[in-house]
Amino acid sequence: MNKLLFIVAFALLTGCSSTIPNYYEPWQSDYHKQFNDIRIQVVAHGLLAPSAHNTQPWIVKLDKDNYDVFELYVDSERLLPETDPPSRQITISQGTFLETVRIAADQLGYSMGMELFPKGEYGTSDSIQEMQDLPVARVTLLRNIPKEEPVLMQMENPQKVDLYSEIFHRVTNRTAYYGNPLTDDEMSVLLSLNNNPNLLLVFFNDAASLEKIRSLTISGVKVEATTEQTMSETKRLFRDSEKEKKEHRDGITVMSGGLKGMKLQIVQFFSNLFPMSWEKMGDIWLKSETRNINSAPTFAMIISNDNSRKTQVETGMLYSRFQLKASQMGISIQPLSQVLQEYPEMAELYQQVHREFAEDGQTIQILVRMGRAEDVLHSPRRDLTDILSN
Ligand SMILES: Cc1cc2nc3c(=O)[nH]c(=O)nc-3n(C[C@H](O)[C@H](O)[C@H](O)COP(=O)(O)O)c2cc1C
């Protein structure tokens, strides 16, 4: 009898079912086809973009008078005040969204015109009202004149099609990496994605840099993991049961750490029964991140010459292309943002990493580890209608 009760409880708590869970629906490659409006179709792809803590901090307002136009705003209810007080990462996450939308528009036969911050940039602190008033971008979709031979067109530009399909495969991989450092050829393909003179893409493969970056990034994780406010914020966005994933459809899950199948169900089942303290969660996270950071053969940074909101959005656009292309080349990526975060407990490490790897006045916007890895499952996504606003 006890055994039967256990099985029933397990099935209920893990949400065992043969149908695809709601939080995975947006990952279906035909998800966008249920909508008639091309603006909604392309925005459906934007939902799959990477975002800080998987907050998906986007609001889209469709222009009621011009059916080619929509505006993108930051969702000011989805900020990370403890780990990202100036909302720098949240702003980078606007860029990842816009670039994913641009690639989708291109694939669906539209050119995307985009004006960033058409009413001016929001400020760096206490800018919630400004975020609500000032759009990040005004986007216009223009139908391309159909070419006579679309098949030929695809052959002329295979990368265009490949990056599009990669939107549905790309994932932030939080497992241990293996294999050799990136080759010169691989790095030069990725370097060619950067056409922004204000942004620098830099790779690190040499032993001295690896040692410094590993030590700094592990120290950064330690600070976040042992500081109550920051670890509690990360814990708040940790979805450790099927119920939470289905309800919130955002946040970080154990799936990106490589758990799947029955193992995943068992871990989620016990996390649900015995919730963890922030200290315990921080401890487990620090151990796994230390292993993961030490396993990575290559690191990369995106460094900018200024730190304007526009530059932050452009960083996100470059990061989006960078990760899609890397994914296509079989290279896994995980951002390691802790040392780049701007709260008092992190200040010393923030300065140290900038002293070591940036010039005066430059900002390290993105720091990632790279390598080969086993596949992991996707993270949840919200319903498209949740990001549409009247
Ligand atoms: C600006 C930015 C910062 C990020 N920082 C981290 C990080 O420090 N650690 C991490 O594991 N993932 C980081 N990520 C990855 C997100 O957590 C990830 O994109 C999100 O959880 C969605 O998962 P997905 O990329 O697999 O779709 C970051 C992403 C962005 C855009």
pLDDT > 90: percent of the chain:
81
75 within a domain of the structure (yes/no)? yes
Residue 276 lies in a domain: yes
For residue 203, the domain's CATH number is 3.40.109.10
**Does 140 reside within a domain?**
yes
Q: Over the stretch 37-82, which tens digit does the pLDDT of each residue have? A: 999 999 999 999 999 999 999 999 999 999 999 999 999 999 999 9
Domain count along the chain: 2
Residue 335 clears pLDDT 60, i.e. is over it: yes
Tell whether 248 and 367 lie within a shared domain: yes
d(CA 367, CA 84): 15
263 has a pLDDT exceeding 90 = no
For 147-154, what is the mean pLDDT? 51
pLDDT digits (tens, 9 = 90+) for 85-100: 999 999 999 999 999 9
Name the residue with the closest Cα to ligand 1, atom 17.
Answer: 53
Lowest-pLDDT choice from 21-25, 157-161, 330-334: 157-161
Identify whether residues 299 and 214 lie together within a single domain: yes
CATH number for position 123: 3.40.109
**Nearest-CA residue for atom 13 of ligand 1:** 335
Q: Do 96 and 163 lie in a common domain?
A: yes
Residue 147 has pLDDT above 70, yes or no: no
Q: Does residue 54 fall inside a structural domain?
A: yes
Mark whether 197 and 280 lie in a shared domain: yes
159 & 200 share domain: no
Q: Do residue 213 and residue 257 come from a single domain?
A: yes
Q: Are residues 193 and 241 in the same domain?
A: yes
The structure tokens listed for 67 are 């059916």
* Residue 43: inside a domain: yes
Asked whether the whole model's pTM tops 0.85, one would answer: yes
What domain range is 91 assigned to?
A: 22-170+379-389
Phi-psi region of 58 (alpha: psi -120 to 50; beta: other; left: phi over 0): beta
Q: What single letter denotes the amino acid at residue 194?
A: N
Is 256 part of a structural domain of the chain? yes
For residues 89-124, one letter each, b for 16 or more C-beta atoms within 10 angstroms of the residue's C-beta and e for the rest, the string is bbbbbbbbbbbbbbbbbbbbebebebebbeeebbee
Please state the φ and ψ torsions of residue 130, each to the nearest 5 degrees: -65, -40
* Residue 336 maps to a domain: yes
Among 312, 333, 320, residue whose Cα is nearest residue 84: 312
Q: Which of 23, 27, 47, 53 to mutate to test the pocket of ligand 1 (most atoms within 8 A of CB)?
A: 53
| Token couple for 78 | 């989805």
Residue 195 and residue 154 share a domain:
no
Q: Are residues 161 and 278 in the same domain?
A: no
Q: What is the rounded CA–CA span in Å between residue 375 and residue 330?
A: 10
Report the pocket of ligand 1 as residue ranges, CB < 6 Å: 50-54, 89, 92-93, 96, 171-172, 174, 252, 256, 334-338, 379
Question: Could you tell which of 56, 320, 337, 370 is best to mutate to test the pocket of ligand 1, judged by most ligand atoms within 8 Å of the CB?
Answer: 337
pLDDT at position 148 is 57
10-24, 145-159, 270-284: segment of lowest average pLDDT: 145-159
At 222-248, the pLDDT tens digits run 999 999 999 999 999 999 888 899 999
List C-alpha distances in Å: 277 to 34, 223, 238, 244, 283: 42, 17, 12, 17, 10
Instruction: Determine the atom of ligand 1 nearest the C-alpha atom of 89.
Output: 1
Same domain flag for 225 and 328: yes
CB 341 within 8 A of CB 84: yes
Interval between CA 89 and ligand 1 midpoint (Å): 9
**pLDDT exceeds 60 at position 198:** yes
- Output the residue whose Cα is nearest ligand 1's atom 12: 335
Q: Is residue 86 part of a domain?
A: yes
Both 31 and 129 in one domain: the answer is yes
Give the number of the atom of ligand 1 that is nearest the alpha carbon of residue 90.
1
With a cut of 50, say whether residue 354 has pLDDT above it. yes
- Do 262 and 220 reside in the same domain of the chain? yes
Q: Is the pLDDT of residue 269 over 80?
A: no
Residue 30 buriedness (CB in 10 A; 0-12 / 13-18 / 19+):
exposed
